[in-house]
Amino acid sequence: MACVVVYLVLATVADLHAWTAGAASHLQSGGGIGDVGQSVWSLGFTPSSLLHGRGILATDWLNAPWGYNQMANTSIILPALLLGPVTLTLGPVVAFNLAVVLAFAGSATVTMLVIRRYITWLPAAFVGGLLAGFSPAMAAQGSVHLHLIIEVIPPLMWLALDEILIRQRRNPWLLGVGLGLLGAAQLLISAEVLVTTVLLAVVGIIALGLVRRHDVAAHLSAAWRSLVAAGSTFVLVAGYPMWVLLRGPWSVTGPVQSPSYSRQLASDLLSFVLPTSDQLIAPHRATRITDRLLAGNLGENGSYLGIVLIGLLAVIAWQWRRQLIIQIAVIVGSAAAVLSLGASLHLRGHPLHLPLPFALVARTPLLDSASASRFAIPVGLAAGIVLAVGLDRLRAEGFSSRLAPGPSAGRFGLVLAAASLIWLLPAWPYPSAATAIPAYFTNGDSASIPPGSTVLTYPTPQVKTPHDQAMVWQVIDHVNWRLVGSYGHTPGPNGRADNGTAPHLIPALLDFCTTGASPPVVTGHRARQIRAQLMDWNVATIVLTDRSPGLACAESIFHAALGRPPAHIDDVLVYRHLQADLAR
């Protein structure tokens, strides 16, 4: 219990600024902008829509009038359902801040419990859970991607596969059902993590077959029964969500990220040994190099382990190389590290023109949307297992003739672990900012919006811009109205991710306003086009805010198109009852 409390305290430090400033009104990393806002929306939309009997996997309440596929985006549907009581009582912003804490602490706790299957010394398991749950990869992704740091299922799948393939002490059919249910649960947390976990599981199974090739025949019958049961259970439970993801309404075919950007999201050789600004101990001479890697995206740059930890892991791997758990963890972790390097090797940002296995992964359906850098997360899990087993073996066996087994060896191991992990300490807390939700959506004035009608906002949420505040406004207002636009992956005419490459007239004009430029001239013809588009989208209300530059620009566009000024209500400008304006 004390270990879990320590994990919870450390996880709370990550989001401390948000909690101390007011967890109902503050968010990490910019206050509801970008990926964080998308997670807040999912946490709010899912339980609210379920209560109202609406679809939660795909919906036309976002990105109206076209629609939005939650399964094709960072949906976190299962966490949203589990946190539903918190969201419905305290709001989606509190739910998000709580989810960050539970994700870090829960991932570390589950990993620690899984490691306990292989060792007897609790402090060693605690250290292993600490490394896996709070690794630099987890800390980096935790600043922006909630769905990627909920790493409670992969360790459990590791444990299930261990029982299915090696131990085989329980009913193989029940084990298979359990594994299938774990896969279905992971799909509803993050499809990307499920796909990468399955890929690494295949690597682990092949490695196990090679290492224990003489035992394959004896274990094959029970293992096949379990795997068939797992596949059948997954199809039965997760078949419909998978169909929605692959072929459902507003699903996306092909990679969701642009190939040119995806190629930049791969670890550099220096990423493993030099810290970024995300680490507490980070000399400027190192960060001026590493912070520029991966297109300067620190949220994706989490491969750092440090020379000290890498050296310690290498010694453990060699000293206890006959331990099966060490063998498999080293192989799987090494495979994940290689995959994190992307399709070709880079050193200090310069290509070495050496092709790597990820080039094959990037051309495989489902895997073609995976970002190479995110394979650094399972590297942390494998490293945590190796470190924990090594510390336990050091205490039990000592080290050569120089260190006798016993408590002294255990304490020495913990000192070594502390000396290697101190370099990985994250530079927490994360930055925090107020959500700055307009009072119009919090004091009841938005009740004048007709329920179920469509609302156009300025800024308009789009995936190519960081402006997705309106998605937070929608869930703060209990999803009573549809919203034009979305920050998410939506299909273009060919079914592939649009990513904002072909904006419609109104979003394009409003994007022009966000640059701070002078208002565009709205001719009579352009005014008719704007009114026609508003009518096609069934827009009943327009809400303009000053959350980004260009409010006067946006107001002038609609004033010219509609022939009247907006009403000033609280801290927003509102056009209501648009039917008469659009009919003329």
Q: Could you tell me if 75 and 497 are in contact, meaning their C-beta atoms sit under 8 angstroms apart? A: no
Residue type, position 557, single letter: I
Residues 492, 411 share a domain = no
CA dist., res. 314 & res. 363, Å (int): 32
Residues 341, 209 share a domain = yes
Instruction: Please state, rounded to an integer, the average pLDDT across all residues of the chain.
Output: 91
Q: Could you tell me if 330 and 317 are in contact, meaning their C-beta atoms sit under 8 angstroms apart? A: yes
In a domain, 37, yes or no: no
If 0-12 CB within 10 Å is exposed, 13-18 middle and 19+ buried, where does residue 27 land?
buried
Residues 278, 151 share a domain = yes
Residues 452, 402 share a domain = no
In a domain, 40, yes or no: no
If 0-12 CB within 10 Å is exposed, 13-18 middle and 19+ buried, where does residue 59 land?
buried
In a domain, 483, yes or no: yes
Which of 424, 452, 469 delimits the end of a domain? 424
Q: Could you tell me if 184 and 165 are in contact, meaning their C-beta atoms sit under 8 angstroms apart? A: no
Residues 404, 458 share a domain = no
Query: Per residue in 192-215, pLDDT tens?
Result: 999 999 999 999 999 999 998 888
Q: Number of structural domains, the chain?
A: 2
In a domain, 44, yes or no: no
524-536 vs 551-562: helix axis angle to the nearest 10? 90
pLDDT band at 347 (very low <50, low <70, confident <90, very high): very high
Q: End-to-end CA distance of the chain, in Å?
A: 68
In a domain, 123, yes or no: yes
Residues 450, 367 share a domain = no
In a domain, 62, yes or no: no
pLDDT band at 378 (very low <50, low <70, confident <90, very high): very high
Residues 335, 305 share a domain = yes
Residues 144, 209 share a domain = yes
Question: Which residues are CB-neighbours of 468 under 8 A, at least 6 positions away?
Answer: 32, 33, 34, 37, 38, 41, 461, 486, 487
Query: Per residue in 507-533, pLDDT tens?
Result: 888 888 887 778 888 888 999 999 999
> Measured on CA atoms in the order 245, 466, 13, 379, is the torsion positive or negative?
positive
Which of 362, 395, 424 delimits the end of a domain? 424
Residues 499, 418 share a domain = no
Please give the average per-residue pLDDT across 314-324, as a whole number: 95
Instruction: Please give the structure tokens belonging to residue 369.
Output: 């949307």
CA dist., res. 268 & res. 294, Å (int): 8
Residue/partner pairs of 571-574 with CB below 8 Å, 24 or more apart: 571/438, 571/439, 571/440, 571/545, 571/546, 572/438, 572/440, 572/543, 572/544, 572/545, 573/543, 573/544, 573/545, 574/440, 574/541, 574/542, 574/543, 574/544
In a domain, 73, yes or no: no
CA dist., res. 110 & res. 117, Å (int): 11
Residues 211, 273 share a domain = yes
Please give the average per-residue pLDDT across 313-336, as a whole number: 96
Residues 273, 345 share a domain = yes
CA dist., res. 226 & res. 154, Å (int): 17
Instruction: Please give the structure tokens belonging to residue 254.
Output: 């092909």
Q: Look at residue 548 in the predicted model and tell me its pLDDT.
A: 65
Residue corresponding to tokens 């919906």: 59
- Domain of residue 166 covers 2-31+91-424
Residues 493, 393 share a domain = no
In a domain, 525, yes or no: yes
Which of 424, 452, 470 delimits the end of a domain? 424
Of the chain, the percentage scoring pLDDT greater than 70 comes to 96
Please give the average per-residue pLDDT across 356-377, as a whole number: 87
